[in-house]
Amino acid sequence: MKVNLFNTMKFNQITQILNLSKIMKFNYKAFGMVAAASALLSLQACSGSGSENKNQNQGQEESGFAQVEEPTTFYLLPSPEDIFAFSAEKLKFSSQLLNPSENAGNYQDSKSQEVNFGVYCADMAYCAVNGQYQDAAKYLKTLKELSSKLGLEAVFNQKLSSRVDQHIEDKDSLKAIANDTYIDIKKALESQGKNATIAQISAGGWLECMYIITNSIESFSDTDLNIQQIADEKNVFESLMAYLGQYKSRPGIEETINQLKPLEEAYNKLSVVFTEQTSNTTTSDGAIVIGGGKKIEISEENFNLLKKRMAEIRTALITNK
């Protein structure tokens, strides 16, 4: 049958998993990178046939739930704030890596609006986790301006504005606001049956995160956790491509997939090695990184190629060319 990504039962299951992780200080805000080797959760939809399903589907359409034909898999991608939570304290902040907010007026078609909405989500999160209060507020304003074009006016309401005003100089609160806003955006779009838009936003947000991180690393080292993070994101990238692939018949999706193909080729050059030994390390924020079992190896040549491809694709996305 057709299902909603955030139906009550499945969402509660995810919440239980995330709450369990918090007991280990393996928290949701570090979810994207702490469990990089398995940084996605997939939910298998149930199958069925006959008039009963037809009636259920009709009811779902009338209620505005997301509609995806069977068989399908949903991928829960980490938010930009999740990704930056791992590396923010280790990488120097640079406003030069951000997509200028002035570019927002250049995005007139739905594909560029959706992808760059994701880019700006990542930019806002990057500013927030680095305590760049005024820049974070500026990108939140940019997102609000774009929101009306994506049907997200309800997310960027007076309540959110007041919350930002009250906590504009509190780094932790600002990070929480960025993360909560990203979750609210996904929920709002799903309630409107706009999973294809979520896929585009996820593509833009993920790529911007990776662009910023790769361009913040000054030199290659095979012991650099941030570089290993880039390698481990191979799993998330594959999930992202699969997610986009579910909606490739929708306007703009196939173009995004084709733009990301060179990066797919670069990630395919990375090798996976299996080890029996397991090890745990603790990051500066107290999160436990569980290692061992499987590792994605990355060489300096691999890293430079990924960095180059990410920069090229990102430039094409933000310039809308």
Cβ atoms of residues 320 and 301 within 8 Å: no
Paired residues of 272 in beta bridges: 296
Q: What is the DSSP string of 31-69?
A: HHHHTGGG--EEEEPP---SHHHHHHHHHHHHHT----P
- What is each CA distance from 290 to 15, 31, 39, 156, in whole angstroms? 20, 12, 12, 37
* Neighbour tally for 93: CB within 10 Å: 17
- Pair of tokens at residue 128: 């927030």
Where does residue 310 fall: left (phi above 0), alpha (psi -120 to 50 degrees), or beta otherwise? alpha
Q: In one letter, which amino acid is 156?
A: F
Q: Is 109 exposed, middle or buried (0-12, 13-18, 19+ CB in 10 A)?
A: exposed
In the numeric block, the tokens 């995160």 are attached to 209
Q: Is 74 exposed, middle or buried (0-12, 13-18, 19+ CB in 10 A)?
A: buried
- Please tell me the distance from the alpha carbon of residue 143 to that of residue 138, in angstroms, as a whole number: 9
The pLDDT value recorded for residue 60 is 45
- What is each CA distance from 143 to 70, 98, 118, 226, 300, in whole angstroms? 33, 14, 9, 28, 36
In the numeric block, the tokens 């997310």 are attached to 155
**E strands, 56-214, where?**
73-76
- Please tell me the distance from the alpha carbon of residue 232 to that of residue 308, in angstroms, as a whole number: 17
At residue 54, the 3 state secondary structure works out as helix
CA 55 to chain centre: 34
The pLDDT value recorded for residue 252 is 95
Within 13 Å of residue 62, how many CA atoms lie on the same side as its CB? 6
The answer for residues whose C-beta is within 8 angstroms of residue 72's C-beta and 6 or more apart is 45, 246
CA 136 to chain centre: 17
Q: CA triplet 54, 60, 64: central angle to 5 degrees? A: 145
Nearest to 288 by CA among 18, 33, 4, 12: 33
Helices (H) and strands (E) in the chain, counts: 12, 4
In the numeric block, the tokens 């990776």 are attached to 210
- Please tell me the distance from the alpha carbon of residue 262 to that of residue 258, in angstroms, as a whole number: 8
The pLDDT value recorded for residue 54 is 42
Work out whether strand 288-297 and strand 41-44 pair parallel, antiparallel, or are unpaired: unpaired
Per-residue pLDDT 10s for the chain (321 aa) are 433 333 333 333 333 333 333 322 333 333 333 233 223 333 223 333 343 344 444 444 444 444 444 334 445 566 776 777 666 557 889 999 999 999 999 999 999 999 999 999 999 989 988 889 889 889 989 999 999 899 888 888 878 878 877 777 777 777 788 778 888 888 899 899 999 999 999 999 999 999 999 999 989 998 898 999 899 999 999 999 999 999 999 999 999 999 999 999 999 999 988 766 555 555 555 555 555 577 899 999 999 999 999 999 999 999 987
The kind and range of the H/E element at 111 are helix 110-129
The answer for residues whose C-beta is within 8 angstroms of residue 75's C-beta and 6 or more apart is 40, 41, 42, 239, 240, 242, 243
- Pair of tokens at residue 187: 């929920």
